[in-house]
Amino acid sequence: MGRIGDGDALSIGGNHLIHALRRNVRVNILMFNNQIYGLTKGQYSPTSAVAKVTKSTLSVRSTPRSTHQSALGAEATFVARTHDMDRAHMQEMFRRAHEHNGAAFVEVLQNCNVFNDGAFEKITARDVRANMLIPLVHGEPIVFGAEGEQRGVAQRSTVAWKSSPSAKREPQPC
């Protein structure tokens, strides 16, 4: 198991991350994302928000890296996201990653109360959490929202199509 922060995973260690996922070696990568280099006194990281002011920059100008796009682009076979405010969900994601036969990438959204307090408040705050987080359970319908206000995602078709340019457009079971 490897534990790494968002800065090192997506900047200086980016190639190592990409190749470990691409080669699908049996490793669990837990990336703790607090959108800042917390151990180096608050420098901006590749996931820092645009216009973020830090001790090392007047304003971040680059677009934050998407951790999941990076992992999926590297053809990772297991990608998950959890946050530090839901211990049961976090433990379940760690368990599933451990059971996966191949490279497993788990992003943990984690607050840094010293250098980037409230970074994920818009999705993890208690009063908005039910409407902002969508639990995905294999084989179960996608349902989200606060109790009594739940919504879902309907599937329009039971057929998925191959998108490869060289493949014929043959239906594939979902």
Q: What is the pLDDT of residue 158?
A: 56
Give the number of C-alpha atoms closer than 13 A to the C-alpha of residue 112, restricted to the C-beta side.
Answer: 20
**Region of residue 139 (phi > 0: left; psi between -120 and 50: alpha; otherwise: beta):** left
Those residues whose C-beta lies under 8 Å from the C-beta of residue 72, and which sit 6 or more positions away, are 79
Spatial contact of 35 and 63, defined as CB atoms under 8 Å apart: no
Cβ-count burial 158-171 (b if 16+ within 10 Å, e if not): eeeeeeeeeeeeee
Q: What is the pLDDT of residue 157?
A: 58
Q: How far apart are CA 144 and CA 100, in angstroms?
A: 26
Per-10-residue mean pLDDT, the chain, length 174:
79 83 92 80 77 76 82 93 90 95 93 83 84 82 81 65 45 44
- DSSP code per residue over 94-150: HHHHHHSSS-EEEEEE--BTTTBTTTTHHHHSTTTHHHH-----TTS--EESSTTS-
Q: What is the pLDDT of residue 172?
A: 44
Q: What is the pLDDT of residue 166?
A: 46
Q: What is the pLDDT of residue 155?
A: 64
Q: What is the pLDDT of residue 170?
A: 46
Pairing of strands 151-152, 143-144: antiparallel
Spatial contact of 83 and 120, defined as CB atoms under 8 Å apart: yes
pLDDT in tens, 17-66: 888 899 998 999 998 988 887 777 777 788 777 777 777 777 777 787 78
